[in-house]
Amino acid sequence: MTTEPAQFSAYQELLVDFVPRPISSEAQYRRVMKQIDALMKKRRPTRAEEDLLELLSTVVVGYEAKAHPAPHVSPAQMLEHLIEASGVTKAQIARDTGIAQSTLTNVIRGRRGISKVNAGRLAKYFHVAPTAFIEVAE
């Protein structure tokens, strides 16, 4: 990737003001989150600010995965949660996605898994990644 000199120096200036490092404590985590908040509040961030935001987000994700790992949630549990949180019925989801209501019920009850095609449909419907509906082997 070729970076224009003006953008590169702007990014360097940002790095001088805020040197990103791996996070190893809650205090560092709060400091990085403060920086992320400041960058996200910018109405029109520069390319350098967007790059720094992406870098800091990656650092935060790594720290959160170690310090606060998310519990395993099965695709069925995820589907049930999204239905409840969205306030929609299985009948509405069936109409909107083309997935039979009985299929949705059987997935939630653990009687069947979610096919890749249906995972894609559900992901699009709920605006989440398809991987939310695909079982990961442990």
40 in any annotated domain: yes
- For residue 41, being part of any structural domain is answered with yes
Does residue 138 sit within a domain? no
Q: Which residues contact 124 (CB under 8 A, 6 or more apart)?
A: 97
Q: Which residue has the higher pLDDT, 4 or 11?
A: 11
CATH code (residue 93): 1.10.260.40
Asked which of 49, 67, 85 is the last residue of a domain, the reply is: 67
- Output the DSSP codes for 14-34: HHHHS------SHHHHHHHHH
Domain that holds residue 127: 75-133
pLDDT in tens, 35-69: 999 998 988 999 999 999 999 999 998 898 899 88
Is there a single domain that holds both residue 88 and residue 128?
yes
pLDDT tens per residue across span 73-123: 899 999 999 999 999 999 999 999 999 999 999 999 999 999 999 999 999
**Is residue 91 one of the residues assigned to a domain?**
yes
Higher-confidence position of 137 and 80 = 80
Distance between CA atoms of 106 and 48, rounded to whole angstroms? 48
